[in-house]
Amino acid sequence: MRPDRTSQSFAGRVYEVVRRIPRGSVMTYRQVAEAVGSPRAARAVGSALRKNRDPRVPCHRVVRADGPGGYNRGPEVKLELLRREGAIAPDGRGARRRPGGTGRS
């Protein structure tokens, strides 16, 4: 799942990983950082996603380890999108994580 680090910016690598998160699943900011080869860059992942304007990048599928976290269209929109995809229960709990993650943000 690791993108080529030599040919893309950090944000480009983040977007590539996030595009691959299947509908109904989520990854934490830390899992995305690890996938792009920068395990200590969870905050930088959030910053890159905050700046994204490409609708093909499902930023709402990236969550904090302890809950949904922010979203550039608002946290209510993020929760609704995740509910529609079946990634979380109607009460906002139970996010489905991708296998192989650490479970930490």
Among 2, 12, 13, 15, CA closest to 59: 15
| Helix boundaries (H) for 1-105 | 10-19, 29-35, 42-51, 75-85
Instruction: Note if 45 is an active site residue.
Output: no
Choosing from 41, 49, 57, 59, the catalytic residue is: 59
Q: Which sequence positions are flagged as catalytic? A: 59
